[in-house]
Structure formats: structure tokens, C-alpha cells
Amino acid sequence: MMVRILVLTALFACFMSCYAIGVMRIIDGKFAKDKANALPFMASLKVYQDGSYTFLCSGSIISNLHILTAAHCYYSLFGKDQATADKPESRTKAIGYLRAHTPIVFKEETVAPIRLAHGVFPKPGEKFHVAGFGNHTSDGNTFGLPSTYTFNGIDIKNNDWCNLRNEREFCAGGDDQGTLRGDSGGPLYKNDKPRYQVGVVARGNTDRSELDDEVVLTDHGVYTSVAAYCVFIEEVTQKAVKCEKVL
């Protein structure tokens, strides 16, 4: 396998030979029980080392050669210094991708890429969905890594809801919705058909409280805007991936 490294802050594209995994968990996550709810673009990223696979992050298939996920997932594997060694000028942006010789084989309803939205910047009050392969919670209880992904609806929040670092990020979350540590790199997407991705899970904080003897998890999630990086994604994938205008 050939490894090449480029860079873009909270995003990085990775080829499928890193088979997936994830440590974050979808709050009150649901499993896809039928074809209508299936997400064929989901990727679970795992690293093979010393004879075994280790979970790394969630991601989304965006072409037959590229998986989109969070840059810090890549840094946790290689270290930030090594990841930017060949491109010192790219330390303020982080996109990395691993490229295998064998392309991903698409299979209609089970393996397929998700579209990336051009010019769509989520606004407070709008509703999207988020998905990941990490642990999930239900009724305040946390369960181990599922064998498949989970998903849930999520509300876009005002900028003061979370700890933003720049204008390329936005907030989402609320009571009993959102992600926890480990779902990093998973997609935030519009659930209309065809589905399209508008964000990547970056980081966040989750508060735990009790109301009428029930546990409430309140997520203050930070997401990276896909639209803010459309030009860069097109460049690093050599135009294999282009964001599309959504009606």
C-alpha cells in the first residue's frame, strides 16, 4: 500500500484498506433495520497492527478510492509531526489519505458513496442526521461497540452552543442527541433522498444530568463544514470527488 499525506484541519480522506472502527458513541443511536434506513456510505476505519485490528474512527465513502473522516484520527495513528513532514506549509490544513491499489467495489444498496453538498452551511434550527460506528447509548446507558453503525437526528445550534475554533466549524447537538468520544470522522448528513453530507464529526463535550430519575445526556458537538473545503477536496482527490449543488 502506498501512503501519501496532504493536509486540511478537521478532515482527511483515507482509502478503505484502513478498515474502520470508532470510539465515540451516538446518543440514543438507532440501528438500520431495513433498506430504507441503510447507509451504504458508512465506513468503519480499523488499523491492522501486530496481528490484530484496532478501531480508529468512523468515516464516509466519497469515491471508490476515498474515505472522508477527521484529521485527528489520522494524527492519532501517525502523529501530527509525521503527518505534516512532507508538507510543512499544510500544518494549518489537514487532509491525509491512504490509497490502495484495489478500488472499493460498489454494490448498490450496501456499498455506495455519499454526495458532498456545495454551498450548504447548516443554520440554527435545521435538522440533520449523524452516524457512527462507535459505542451507543440508550436511556442513559452506554453500550459497547456495535457490529454496525448507529444513527440519529440532530439539531443545528447557535455558535455559542459549542467551542468553535474558526468559521469553518458549526455547532450541533442537544438533549439525548449527538455523539460522544469515538464517533469522530462520522458524517452529518441530510436524510432526504439522495442523501448528501454537509459536515464531519470533529469534537465536543457531553453533559450528564438527571431529570425525574432519568439520565439526560446533552451534547455540545463541533462539526467541520464540508462546503468550506470543497475546492480543497477536489484538488487532493484529483477531481475524483466534486461537491454538488443541492436543490
| Predicted confidence pLDDT, tens digits, the chain (247 residues) | 333 323 333 344 433 333 333 333 455 555 565 565 688 999 888 777 788 877 788 889 999 988 898 888 766 565 555 444 444 433 444 344 555 557 888 987 889 999 999 999 999 999 999 998 876 554 545 544 555 677 789 999 999 999 999 999 999 998 888 887 668 889 999 988 899 999 999 988 878 887 777 777 888 999 999 999 999 899 888 999 999 998 7
Tell me which amino acid residue 223 is.
Y
* Cis before 194? omega within 30: yes
Number of separate domains in the chain: 1
User: CA 215, CA 218: separation in Å to the nearest integer?
Assistant: 10
Q: What residues make up the domain containing 159?
A: 1-247
Burial 165-188 (b: 16+ CB within 10 A, else e): eeebbbbbbbebbbbbebbbbbbb
Alpha carbon distances (Å) from 120 to 116, 128, 185, 190 = 9, 12, 19, 10
Its sign, for the CA torsion 115, 53, 182, 95, is: negative
pTM for this structure?
0.79
What is the structure's pLDDT at 182? 67
User: CA 99, CA 129: separation in Å to the nearest integer?
Assistant: 28
Its sign, for the CA torsion 20, 167, 157, 160, is: positive
For residue 197 the three cell numbers come to 453530507
What is the structure's pLDDT at 246? 86
User: CA 238, CA 51: separation in Å to the nearest integer?
Assistant: 34
Q: What is the DSSP letter of 201?
A: E
Counting runs of H as helices and runs of E as strands, what totals does the chain give? 3, 17
Phi-psi region of 231 (alpha: psi -120 to 50; beta: other; left: phi over 0): alpha
Query: Domain of 160: which CATH number?
Result: 2.40.10.10
